Amino acid sequence: MPVIHTADVMPDQGYDPGIRGVAVDGRLPDAPAPVPLPAYDLPDGPLGIPATALVAYRHAAEVLGKEQPGCHIDWALIASIGRIESNHARGGYVDAAGTTLQPILGPQLNGTGPYAAIPDTDHGLLDHDPVWDRAVGPFQFIPATWRSYAADGNGDGKADPGNLFDASLAAARYLCSGGLDLANPDQLRTAIYRYNNSDAYVTTVILWAEAYRKGVAQVPDSTVPVEAPTPTTSSAVPTANPGNKPPQVGVTLPPVVTDRPSVTPTGTPTSGVPSSTSSTTTETSTPTCGSSSSATSTSASPTTSTCVSSSSSKPS
């Protein structure tokens, strides 16, 4: 499979156009794997998503459904990328407005290893680094890309890449940019390749999105930052039954308001954010397609956060 994908719909991300296929978080394209991946089983559902993250994903999909109905993006695709990029903002370690309580920063984009060399473009305003750019927030936007797709998802008058509502909406707009229809399997893969030009990343995003559509259980936002669980097999493949699976109680998640999401203090969700008692829902799949060949996923991207595992509210 080629490393460069449909350049005619590649958004302008603000960095050197000579660097082709650079991921949203600054990763260089992965080389195609020499052999195809075997078939993988999807993780069993329902899978846990922290309360604030779940509302943010659903709200972003709802907004895009009105802004760009031809895109056909759904909350499960946004949730899948949120899970892979930051484990849902470190397990929902956010404040009442959905902003991360601890900065989530990627490595310096100084040309070392799998990352492009991107000198500072924001004077350290977003990434706290005046020398090199770094990916920022739960959806790991580099500052140049954030400037093009910045969004105010919670209606507070600010566009903050460290806020779950803002970053979820920006990610949705990025995936839908260029007039893509994500109900088309080829265009779905094109959108995900633009987010991270890795065969394994695309496959993993699709697998997790399909798993979330089969059923999701809300879990409380974590009171400590939670790292993603370490897979026992290839990092490109989601493990079976990841995390602690909350019990099903047969309660349908309430709809998200259309004009602005309801955000309440972390750990005490009401109305727009479902209650701390686990509940499940089943969603109908829109975009779907098969797997591809392997490389590595951005779920393993290092950050500057010092995180402590928590078994009480660990999302899947």
What is the side-by-side strand order in the sheet with 216-219?
A: 47-50, 216-219, 280-281
pLDDT given for residue 29 in this prediction: 81
Q: Do residues 280 and 251 touch, judged by C-beta distance below 8 A?
A: yes
| 136: β partners | 105, 141
* Helix, strand, coil percent values for the chain (each to nearest 5): 30, 10, 65
Q: Do residues 153 and 258 touch, judged by C-beta distance below 8 A?
A: no
- Residue in 26, 185, 11 with CA at minimum distance from that of residue 114: 26
| Tokens standing for residue 176 | 């839908």
- Residue in 291, 307, 312, 308 with CA at minimum distance from that of residue 234: 291
Q: Do residues 302 and 26 touch, judged by C-beta distance below 8 A?
A: no
Q: Do residues 173 and 191 touch, judged by C-beta distance below 8 A?
A: no
pLDDT given for residue 79 in this prediction: 97
Q: Do residues 121 and 128 touch, judged by C-beta distance below 8 A?
A: no
**Separation of alpha carbons 207 and 160, rounded Å:** 28
Q: What is the largest CA-CA distance in the chain?
A: 53
**Torsion sign across C-alpha atoms 149, 202, 234, 316:** positive
Q: What is the residue-level pLDDT of the chain in tens, covering all 316 positions?
A: 333 333 334 444 444 434 457 888 888 887 655 444 444 555 565 789 999 999 999 999 999 999 999 999 999 999 999 999 999 999 999 999 999 999 999 999 999 888 899 999 999 999 999 999 999 999 999 999 999 999 999 999 999 999 999 999 999 999 999 999 999 999 999 999 989 988 889 999 999 999 999 989 999 999 999 886 544 333 333 333 333 333 333 333 333 333 445 444 344 333 343 333 344 444 444 443 333 333 333 333 333 443 333 333 344 4
| 281: β partners | 216
For tokens 């350049």, the residue is 7
| Tokens standing for residue 191 | 């959108």
Question: How far out from the chain centre does Cα 217 lie?
Answer: 17
- Residue in 298, 300, 297, 307 with CA at minimum distance from that of residue 25: 298
Question: How far out from the chain centre does Cα 107 lie?
Answer: 17
- The helix or strand, by DSSP H or E, that contains position 65, with its residue range, turns out to be helix 51-67
**Separation of alpha carbons 76 and 182, rounded Å:** 12
Predicted structure pTM score: 0.68
pLDDT given for residue 22 in this prediction: 85
Question: How far out from the chain centre does Cα 11 lie?
Answer: 18
pLDDT given for residue 3 in this prediction: 35
